[in-house]
Structure 1
Amino acid sequence: MKTIYLVRHGEALDDIEDRYGGWSDDPLTEKGRETAEQLAGKIIRLSPKPTKIYSSPFKRAFETAEIIGDKLGLKPVSVGNLKERNRYGILTSMTKTEAKTAYPQMVQQVENYMETIQGAETYEHYRDRVLRAVNEIVKESKENTLIVCHGGTFRIVMWKLLRKPDYERADLNAILTIEENNGRLALKNSEGLIFKS
């Protein structure tokens, strides 16, 4: 049996600048770095401790992974398929005000959760690549593992791998503890996850 910890990154610049995130590659804010330090303090007290760290290559996730890794004496491994969904296409990194002026119809599509806009990634493609990445990590890792990722990754893991349809969202710096036993995954514990009532 092994343990897999899923951690959501800390606050990034796009979170406070009212911009479309997704594939924007923003670093952590000062607050994001501080909360990542606090998160690292929690993680070093976990039992069992993670002995391997994987991360999305986006700065907000990788910086979080590096801060945690420094406390554990581990170097994070970047995994491209753990990137957040490119949901916003050509709106990525634009402020919401700029986007409403330049692309009002696309903004309406995003707000109405309509399928893919220009330059965006389909949900199916995103789901498949994230599932592939997480399943490969779980299968190949012989150690207790920590994965630093994004809110969308939490959603896919909760809905598709752990079969938790009442899951709604993960706060920044959320922690999900999963036990793997003979290929079966089970939710052991969570902190910072919101479920539908």
Structure 2
Amino acid sequence: MVETKLYIARHGKTMFNTIGRAQGWSDTPLTELGEQGIKELGLGLRLAEIPFKAAYSSDSGRTIQTMEIILRETHNEHLPYKRDKRIREWCFGSLDGGYDGELFFGVLPRTKAFEGGKTVKDVTYPELAQSIVEVDTAGWAESWEVLSERIWAGFTAIAEEMEASGGGNAIIVSHGMTINTFLWLIDNNREKLSLDNGSISAVSFKDGKFTIEAIGDMSYRQAGQELLEK
């Protein structure tokens, strides 16, 4: 059987990304620069000649817009393409759309997990999820159990579907914290890293087990940028 591999892209830079607002389940479109960055990614993936078999994204507008550009630039408009709400971004509840600084450096540091001067980098994803639940006055934020189960289920379902069809490569567009959470669930000893818009994180899947191949790889975007500059 052909190896099953997931190439997971973070969506292009959006309006909220640009002005430093937490998007979560709220949504804004890619900016002109964001679209350019994903065009670079698409061209870089085309240069790499990766034979994609299927495409998946979350149901958020920014990932759908990103995928449309990738499929166009890789000449893969014909690929089977599915949208899965399980690989959406984290929900920040009543703080969705708020400024990152207010959320991560103002509100959350007053929760129990941040006691002793801990920062966002110091707390685990389960602790961060609990902190968001604590400060969400609307009661919309997901508990760690719900959040982690939906993310894991979403990516696992994609991998199993690919494997059942004979394996191969899937291109997936998701969100920064969601991708990081998935990678952390595979290996929770790894360092938490910030993922750039248009980066690729790759995982292989065999015998029900994921293996991380790359995290936040920007080489495809760089190759596409170089091609455009020629």
Give the TM interval when normalised to the shorter protein.
Answer: 0.7 to 0.9
Structure-1 residue corresponding to 2:213: 188
What RMSD in Å do the two structures reach over aligned CA positions? 2.6
Distance 1:18 1:159, change over 3 A: closer
**Which secondary structure does the structure 2 equivalent of 1:169 belong to?**
coil
Counterpart check, 1:85 vs 2:74: no
Aligned pairs (5 A) from 1:1-197: 1-71=3-73, 72-73=76-77, 74=79, 76-87=81-92, 89-95=93-99, 108-109=107-108, 113=128, 114-116=131-133, 117-118=136-137, 119-141=140-162, 142=165, 143-190=168-215, 191-192=217-218
Aligned to 2:228: none
Q: Is the 8 A contact 2:4 2:159 kept in 1?
A: no
What corresponds to 1:195 in structure 2?
none
User: Is the CA contact (8 Å cut-off) linking 1:6 and 1:176 kept in structure 2?
Assistant: yes
Paired residue secondary structure (2:196) = strand
Which structure is higher in RCO with an 8 Å CA cutoff and minimum separation 6?
A: 2
One-letter identity of the residue aligned with 1:132: A
**Which of the two has higher C-alpha Rg?**
2
Listed one character per residue, the Cα deviations across residues 37-90 of structure 1 (whole Å, up to 9, x for unaligned) are: 001011223354212110011111111111111232235311111110102x12
Query: How far apart, in 2, do the equivalents of 1:95 and 1:48 lie?
Result: 38
- Structure with greater proportional strand content: 1
Percent identity, please. Answer: 23
Quick one: distance in 1 between partners of 2:11 and 2:68? 11
Which one-letter code corresponds to 1:165 in the other structure?
Answer: R
The structural deviation recorded for 1:162 is: 4.3
2:121 aligned partner: none
Higher helix share: 2
Give ranges in structure 1 of 5+ residues lacking alignment. 193-197
Aligned residues: 186
TM-score by length of 1: 0.82
Counterpart-to-counterpart distance in 2, 1:163 and 1:96: 24
